[in-house]
A and B are shown apart, each in its own frame.
Chain A
Amino acid sequence: MTVMTASFAAATITELPPSARFSLRTTDPIAASASLGLELPTKVGARAAAGARTALCLGPDEWLIEAPEAETPALIATFSNLEARLPLSAVEVSDREITLALSGPAVLDLLATGCPRDLAKLAVGSGCRTLFDTVQVVLTREAEDRFHLTVWRSFAPHLRALLDIAARELAAGL
């Protein structure tokens, strides 16, 4: 974790604790929504939340389901039940990815060092799959100045090093 004094904290990077993540593919989101207890959004980039569970629509038939780690067995049971009735694919990807929380007044500048998208247009509460320096990442905007960046575990050290350098440069006023 980058240690910076408060007055220079233009952007801070924190690794979040593990959470339950599932990659869900189905052509019938309405039926799946009822069992999951949250309505799967059908617009790409939209995100729905019910309690601590969130679903981010990554593609026309693809969702990333996130929940606290303790809910993993419950979600596996839910998907097993659904599988008997619906054609779907639910893959647990909890350990595949690491989520970094990026926050601070310069968080958009920090992300602009590696991400080609115009993230100022990304509405709070929505997300997208995109690139950061050739690495595929999933970004969600939690607040105006706070993003969560989810990246495959093996790419995380590379990405973290880049972000740390960029954060130090921003803190130094470069």
Chain B
Amino acid sequence: MLLIRCPYCEQDLPELEFAYAGEAHIARPQDPSQLTDEEWRDFLFIRSNPRGVHFERWRHVNGCARFFNAARETVSDRFLCTYKAGEARRDISALTGGAE
């Protein structure tokens, strides 16, 4: 079973306790009424879906119940790191050892 490190519990815990919650670091526009329809559509629906390192939100729903961010390699399904919600996006080259 995949083990995911919860940055709040500070433990590696089974995947079953967690829920995926979409792509991370998508900030809601300050004033949605100023956006064009296309920009609003992009905010709501358009996601990056990369082959490689993906920054995503997870929730430790059956544990401490907190949302946090994770960097996951979508090919190998390996978690490169997890960090608390609100922290800055991690540097990809540091995570992959410059392979990207």
Interface of A toward B, CB cutoff 8 Å: 44-45, 58-60, 62, 116-117, 128-131, 136
Per the bound structure, the CA–CA distance linking A62 and B1 in Å amounts to 28
Chain A proximity mask over B4-32: 1 for CB below 8 Å, otherwise 0: 00001111011111000000000000000
Whether A44 lies near B17 (C-beta < 8 A) is no
Chain A proximity mask over B21-64: 1 for CB below 8 Å, otherwise 0: 00000000000000000000000000000000000000000111
**Total A-B Cβ pairs within 8 A:** 40
Whether B8 lies near A60 (C-beta < 8 A) is yes
Per DSSP, chain A at the interface is strand
Q: How large is the interface on B (under 10, 10 to 19, 20 to 34, 35 or more residues)?
A: 10 to 19
Chain A proximity mask over B56-76: 1 for CB below 8 Å, otherwise 0: 000000111110000000000
Residues A59 and B66 in contact in the complex (CB < 8 Å), given A44-B10, A131-B16: yes
Write the chain B residue with the least CB distance to A116.
B14
Whether B65 lies near A117 (C-beta < 8 A) is no
Per the bound structure, the CA–CA distance linking A62 and B62 in Å amounts to 13
Whether A60 lies near B64 (C-beta < 8 A) is yes
* Chain B residues whose C-beta falls within 8 Å of the C-beta of A129 in the assembled complex: 62-65
Interface of B toward A, CB cutoff 8 Å: 1, 8-11, 13-17, 62-66
Whether A116 lies near B64 (C-beta < 8 A) is no
Residue from the list B8, B10, B16, B63 in contact with A128, Cβ < 8 A:
B63
Residue from the list A59, A116, A136 in contact with B1, Cβ < 8 A:
A116
* Chain B residues whose C-beta falls within 8 Å of the C-beta of A59 in the assembled complex: 8, 63-66
Write the chain A residue with the least CB distance to B64.
A59
* Chain A residues whose C-beta falls within 8 Å of the C-beta of B17 in the assembled complex: 116-117, 130-131
* Chain A residues whose C-beta falls within 8 Å of the C-beta of B15 in the assembled complex: 116
Whether B16 lies near A44 (C-beta < 8 A) is no
Residue from the list A45, A60, A116 in contact with B16, Cβ < 8 A:
A116
